[in-house]
């Protein structure tokens, strides 16, 4: 019988892609394993994973996908998208068990790797004596915060959103309570209760795999390994195997031809992850700010969010730029800027030598994609753990300038202009550019044959 590693990402393309990259990494360096991936594709999710899964299966025969049976759920009564997904994951435990048993007929399962949200599956695997590892698709700073969260929970009975104070956690810069990881803000929400349950279970895994590298987050990794984040029990081994970045993207996209024509390091790239959206007023403020800055830009624009709750799982329509952007904006800026509708091939864009800076929502994949190629950032967080990441990027890593918002979250055009100029023209911009260049070198060293991320991967595999 061969040996296999089973990966179980939570629903959503981002989670799936990260896990597939982890599987590819394992296979590349340890080809004696096979990889089985459990996928949970909810019926209410209109995104298409089928084409992606098909492509990976065709290119990597050692990767096999197992689609867990869909459990029909009506998302409308749930308080949040996360709550729906967590319930689906819980209810899928029996299907996970069946699939693990079926895989074990033909292979020895050496480990099950789950992401944080799939924590309920840990009990299934433990019953089958399969060691469970957790894959943190955010950085070590976020991991530390989540590991320490049950301790913070015990020490207070006020919601972070109502505290108006700084939160001190081992290895981390002080975090304004309102910038804590999104789902932890409100003690009375179901997301808070779910996260608490997951975070309590986190240290009970056989190991934690993190998509980061040692020299990016040394202080917090030391605190985690010293056991400071889990004061009342042991901390499992932490394996930093990154930066793991999904290569690819449409290399023939028009925006890359446009970038070819721009001077080196001259273009500011603005993109806000797979879900980032702005109101039409905010889009107009960004447009004005970019125009006033006078700098070149490549900007990914999406249709503003719908107010209807039932639309939250639907793919939004293409944006109507003439309607959304200020009158004459596209014409006036046609020599300096390019607006791309909905989606740009971000990895090739960030690798392009004409990119000089990145206004980002601070999603961890975006951060690593920029760090890996030495692009300095302006941090404009929108959802999930992004406000937390912003504090870390600005205060600790010195890789980003902050985009400051007004009360209510609005960012005026003058702030957009100021930060773009600061990034591209000022001493502060120069300073973060230098740190970014240094981290690019560090990332390459970490991923080299004898680098820390390769050594961590070998140790992880040895533990199987």
Which residues of this chain interact with ligand UDP, rule CB under 6 A? 14, 246, 249, 271, 273-275, 300, 343-347, 363-366, 369
Nearer to ligand UDP, 73 or 275 (CB): 275
To ligand UDP, the closest distance from the beta carbon of 446 in angstroms equals 19
What is the Cα gyration radius of the chain? 22
For ligand UDP, which is the closer residue by CB, 75 or 345?
345
List, edge to edge, every strand of the sheet that includes 207-210: 63-67, 33-39, 2-8, 107-115, 132-136, 207-210, 238-240
- Distance of CA 120 to CAs 53, 263, 454, Å? 24, 51, 30
Phi, psi for residue 61 in degrees, rounded to 5? -60, -20
Are the beta carbons of 399 and 371 closer than 8 angstroms?
A: yes
Task: Find the residue with minimal CB distance to ligand UDP.
Answer: 363
Compute the distance between CA of residue 160 and CA of residue 138 in angstroms, rounded to an integer.
21
Q: How far is the CB of 48 from ligand UDP (least distance, A)?
A: 15
Nearer to ligand UDP, 203 or 363 (CB): 363
Q: How far apart are CA 192 and CA 183, in angstroms?
A: 6
Q: How far is the CB of 250 from ligand UDP (least distance, A)?
A: 9
DSSP type of residue 276: -
Of the pair 243, 429, the CB lying nearest ligand UDP is at 243
Between 151 and 274, whose beta carbon lies closer to ligand UDP?
274
* Other Cβ atoms within 10 Å of 266 Cβ, number: 17
The angle subtended at Cα 367 by Cα 279 and Cα 303, nearest 5°, is: 20
Nearest distance in Å: CB 373, ligand UDP: 12
Closer to ligand UDP by Cβ: residue 346 or 354: 346
Residue 430: CB minimum distance to ligand UDP, A: 25
CB nearer ligand UDP, residue 223 or residue 271: 271
Smaller CB separation from ligand UDP, 238 or 368: 368
End-to-end CA gap in the chain: 15
Classify strands 132-136 and 337-341 as parallel, antiparallel or unpaired.
Answer: unpaired
Name which of 19 and 271 has its Cβ closer to ligand UDP.
Answer: 271
* Closer CB to ligand UDP, 170 or 348, in the complex: 348
Report in angstroms how near the CB of residue 243 gets to ligand UDP at its nearest: 11
The answer to whether 390 and 402 have CB atoms below 8 angstroms apart is yes
Q: Are 291 and 247 in contact (CB under 8 A)?
A: no
Label residues 246-261 b or e (16+ Cβ within 10 Å = b).
eeebeeebebbebbee
Find the shortest distance in angstroms from Cβ 286 to ligand UDP: 15
The candidate with the shortest Cα–Cα distance to 425, out of 291, 256, 295, is 295
Q: How far is the CB of 300 from ligand UDP (least distance, A)?
A: 5
* SS percent in the chain: helix, strand, coil, step 5: 45, 15, 40
Residue for token pair 């981290």: 439
Considering the complex, what minimum distance in angstroms separates the CB of residue 13 from ligand UDP?
8
Q: 175-176 and 166-167: which strand pairing? A: antiparallel
Phi first, then psi, for residue 382 (nearest 5°) are -125, -45
Smallest gap, in angstroms, from Cβ of residue 176 to ligand UDP? 21
Q: Is the dihedral of CA 14, 392, 377, 280 positive or negative?
A: positive
């Amino acid at each position: 019988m061969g040996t296999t590693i089973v990966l179980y990402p939570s629903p959503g393309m981002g989670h799936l892609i990260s896990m597939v990259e982890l599987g590819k990494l394992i296979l590349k360096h340890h080809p004696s394993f096979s990889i089985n991936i459990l996928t949970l594709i909810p019926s209410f999710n209109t995104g298409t994973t089928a084409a992606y899964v098909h492509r990976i299966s065709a290119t990597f025969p050692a990767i096999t996908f197992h689609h867990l049976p869909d459990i029909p759920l009506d998302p409308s009564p749930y308080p949040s998208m996360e709550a729906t997904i967590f319930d689906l994951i819980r209810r899928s435990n029996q299907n996970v068990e069946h699939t693990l048993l079926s895989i074990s007929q033909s292979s020895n399962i050496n480990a099950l790797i789950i992401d944080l949200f799939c924590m309920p599956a840990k009990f299934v695997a433990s019953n089958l004596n399969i060691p469970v590892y957790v894959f943190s698709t955010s950085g070590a700073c976020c991991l530390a915060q989540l590991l320490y969260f049950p301790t913070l929970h015990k020490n207070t009975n006020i919601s972070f959103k109502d505290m108006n104070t700084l939160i001190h956690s081992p290895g981390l810069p002080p975090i304004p309570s309102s910038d804590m990881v999104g789902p932890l803000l409100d003690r009375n929400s179901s997301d808070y209760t779910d996260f608490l349950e997951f975070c309590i279970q986190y240290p009970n895994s056989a190991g934690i795999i993190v998509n980061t590298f040692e020299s990016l987050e040394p202080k917090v990794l030391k605190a985690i390994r010293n056991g400071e984040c889990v004061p009342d029990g042991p901390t499992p081994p932490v394996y930093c195997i990154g930066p793991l970045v999904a290569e690819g993207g449409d290399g023939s996209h028009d925006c890359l031809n446009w970038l070819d024509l721009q001077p080196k390091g001259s273009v500011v790239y603005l993109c806000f992850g797979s879900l980032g959206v702005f109101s039409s007023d905010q889009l107009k403020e960004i447009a004005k700010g970019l125009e006033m800055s006078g700098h070149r830009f490549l900007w990914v624009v999406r249709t503003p969010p719908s107010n209807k709750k039932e639309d939250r799982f639907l793919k939004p329509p293409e944006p109507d730029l003439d309607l959304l952007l200020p009158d004459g904006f596209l014409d006036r800026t046609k020599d300096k800027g390019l607006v791309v509708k909905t989606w740009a091939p971000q990895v090739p864009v960030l690798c392009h030598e004409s990119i000089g800076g990145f206004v980002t929502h601070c999603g961890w994949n975006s951060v690593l994609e920029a760090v890996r190629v030495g692009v300095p950032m302006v941090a404009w967080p929108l959802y999930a753990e992004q406000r937390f990441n912003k504090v870390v990027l600005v205060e600790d890593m010195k890789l980003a300038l902050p985009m400051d918002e007004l009360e209510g979250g609005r960012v005026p055009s003058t702030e957009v202009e100021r930060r773009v100029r600061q990034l591209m023209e000022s001493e502060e911009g120069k300073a973060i550019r230098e740190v970014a260049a240094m981290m690019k070198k560090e990332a390459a060293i970490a991923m080299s044959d004898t680098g820390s991320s390769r050594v961590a991967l070998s140790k992880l595999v040895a533990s199987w």
